[in-house]
Homo-oligomer: A and B are copies of this chain.
Amino acid sequence: MKPITKKHKIKKIPSPALSRLCKIYSLAEELEDKGEISISSKDIGKRLGVGSHNIRKDVSYIGETGTSGSGYDIKKLKAHIEEVLGLKKERNACIIGLGSLGVVIMNYQKDLLPSLIIVAGFDSNVNKLETIKISIPVYPTYEITEVVKRENIELAVITEPDRNIEKISERLMQGGIKGIINFTPVILNPGPGSVYVRNIDIVSEFRYLSALFTLSEKE
């Protein structure tokens, strides 16, 4: 074991590993709720659909926590991931597009992700907001830059296709946004700036599976 200093030096965490760590965290939450005490890398791997080696390596990126012979203490593992990745840090967010998916996201946030504070909504058609019950201030999309700056918004969630999504992403960047989660089929070009974009294209996911079926049938 190398680390001399108290805190393990976190090098670069490969993004697949980081992504899995977030999932391990979710799993730890689930298991904690069920009252479980510990879990082995093998069992974690089984749940995530990857090998145990993989899990151990992932955990090693954030410094050692496991115990030989009995696996990982769930509480400790969860706390460690939480601390290193800063998952409890509160972040202001906004939702762009207040249709049904927007509302779903807002509910997710409330129940499962209390560290995400949704402080604003945007919609090109502000009148739409009367059709849904919304408890956050809603603005027209042309005010994005201003509101993002003022409210210190770090993360934007785009939930509705929009003619001028390019314009929207431009305004977000001008407001100094740090990350965008895009549920729109239109793929966002992050550009050379330092904005992290995560495209979650539901349609493409369906197609991916459909394609897998097709390819496996061709044999």
Contact = CB atoms under 8 A, between A and B. Distances in A.
A75 interface: no
Report copies per complex: 2
A218 interface: yes
A179 B104 contact: no
Contact of A85 (B87, B194, B198, B211): B211
Interface in A184-219: 185-187, 189-190, 194, 196-218
A105 to B, nearest CB: 7
Main secondary structure of the interface of A (DSSP, over half): helix
B30 A185 contact: yes
Contacts of A155: 206, 209-210
Interface stretch (A15-23, A120-128, A138-146): A15-23
Interface of A: 10, 13, 18-19, 21-23, 25-27, 30, 46-49, 84-87, 89, 91, 100-101, 103-105, 107-108, 112-113, 115-116, 154-155, 178-179, 181, 185-187, 189-190, 194, 196-218
A6 to B, nearest CB: 16
Contacts of A21: 211
9 contacts: A22-B207, A23-B199, A47-B187, A85-B207, A86-B214, A100-B103, A100-B107, A179-B213, A200-B200
Contacts of A116: 206, 210
Contacts of A215: 10, 13, 18, 85-86
A214 B22 contact: no
Contact of A187 (B27, B179, B190): B27
B25 A207 contact: yes
A87 to B, nearest CB: 6
B108 A100 contact: no
A169 to B, nearest CB: 12
Contact of A179 (B189, B198, B209, B217): B209
B86 A190 contact: no
A23 B187 contact: yes
B18 A208 contact: yes
A22 B86 contact: no
